[in-house]
Structure 1
């Protein structure tokens, strides 16, 4: 039997290819890069805003001090103006309110008198009472006016007498040694000016014994919180004012001679002058 040929089979060979890999990067030295970079990065610089030139600081303090003083002056002036306006308003309100009250009292009294029975028999008495009230009203209004004007009176201070006082602007003043005189004259007179009112203040060693024309009065009078002894002139007429005052202080004894030709006109002014006496 002839020999048979062996069937040869080819085996398929598959090539296994490895994937391509990129070449490994060599690691860089981070420390080296950082140090090199630092050479090119500018350092941060800080400015101290509080660190100023001493000259600028001194000028700044001076400016703030000036501003503070100006503010204090403005505030003080504002308070002073407010006080002045309040005082003026209070004075005006007091004058108007007192005048209104007096008018109301007089009107009420007149109404009472008008409704009183037997008015015919008491007509003279009621008329006299009404006149007396009108006089009181006039005196009160006059005193209010004097008090208002006395704020502007000039003030005289005597070192020889150790006292000070105020007197009306249209009065005259003279001082010689231990004698001070303030007086009001009738300047419209063509002859020798007539004395309307005169106040003489003398510093004495002891109370005078020459008081034959005077008699003691029980009226209580105080001058600068000190009691004053009053002596009325016996020869004074009804409308004339004439009396003496003796005041004893810790240092001196004073004699005040007061005279007025018209008591109804000048008595309130005299009392106001006496109330301004301040024994030094």
Structure 2
């Protein structure tokens, strides 16, 4: 019979398309991984991997078997978690995915609070593009995900947590920065900066630009919220930034001006997700509630 470990090796090759990287991810030597995959191929009587000079590619049947093996590995992990939950509370390392537009400005107080009540729980934080992290969650590479909604994926429990206001900012010497009677009509035609289009925030900003006839600068996309803010400070355009970022990074007097526009009500929805059959689903729900509670405290301060 094929072994559990052989399936882990096959899934690792499917993820990395490279024997060396797959072996490193699986915590094995490359010769061991290669030998075990050949043994698996002999056991099943099919070729699973096409070995190439600079990498490895799964055959069609190899991809199908790897997809099914991945589901088996996820189910086994969830069974183990369920067994641990029956005898103990959530402990160990929680692999936590979070959007870079949210995590650094919300999670530090959440983790501090959880550490006080769950000292045996460790967070392995992984920032990344939300859509890609949703795929990692589905594949079992991470245990829980926090990010802008919508979060899409198969067999996921998705919990909306809170709505975060989006703040309009401008260069400090911009004509609108000195005005106190701003209206939505004043925004027409103004240039607006944002992150690259892989981020949910880019979509939120594009939506606001369409609603208020502003001009989204697609040739000047930032790689981080800090880079967007710095471009605004240089006079390149306006930006729409999440409130938690603004409170965290601009509360000491920033290099941009916050615009108070009558009728401006832009928000984004934030949620958490975990696999539907996860063994620690109830604990993940409790963590999600703690995140929502901390966000409400921060935004009401």
The answer to whether TM tops 0.5 is no
User: Bigger radius of gyration, 1 or 2?
Assistant: 1
TM-score computed with the length of structure 1 as normaliser? 0.24
Which one scores higher on RCO, CA 8 angstroms, separation ≥ 6? Answer: 2
Larger helix fraction of residues:
2
TM, length-normalised to structure 2: 0.23
